[in-house]
Amino acid sequence: MGLLIVDKDKTARRVLADLLIEEGYDVTVTSSAAQALYDILKKSAQVVLLGEEFDELRAADLIPLLKQCRKDVNIILVSDKVPLPLIRKVRKEGIFYHALRPLGAEGREEIRQAVRCALASVQNCHSH
């Protein structure tokens, strides 16, 4: 099961990648929206963890594109500074979950659980 982490912030990418690799997941990391779209199209990622911005686009602009490429991809938005109107917009676009950046043990556990649920949801979709 592939996870894709997309974030402009190198430290944020590393923290998430280390956490999820530790959990035994196959993790790909990029700061590029184009690379994210490519990985979704070739179906190597079932779950995408998105920061709020990357090289070319902001999360709110990339989410509809990812969903057009693959409706069954689960997107977890990982961000602290998203204003409420934007949260509402990305929820309408079909994000799976919104998590705060994983600071401390509670934050890391929240990310672990969100990823677990997102992967289980994708697997359930494919088994029917």
Separation CA 10–CA 30 (nearest Å): 9
Tens of pLDDT, residue by residue over 49-90, are 999 877 778 888 899 999 999 989 999 999 887 788 888 998
Phi then psi dihedrals of residue 10, to 5 deg? -60, -40
Record the tokens describing residue 15, joined without a space. Answer: 């923290």
Partnered with residue 77 across adjacent β-strands are 50, 98
**Of the candidates 7, 27, 31, 32, the residue with the CA atom closest to the CA atom of residue 17:** 27
CATH code, 2-127 = 3.40.50.2300
H helices of 42-82, where? 59-69
Q: Express as a percent the part of the chain with pLDDT over 70.
A: 95
Read off the amino acid at residue 88: R
Read off the amino acid at residue 9: D
Q: Where are the domains of the chain?
A: 2-127
Helix axes 10-22, 104-127, angle to 10 degrees: 70
Q: Tokens 């979709």 belong to which residue?
A: 125
Separation CA 53–CA 94 (nearest Å): 18
Tens of pLDDT, residue by residue over 17-39, are 999 999 999 999 999 989 999 99
Tens of pLDDT, residue by residue over 2-16, are 999 999 999 999 999
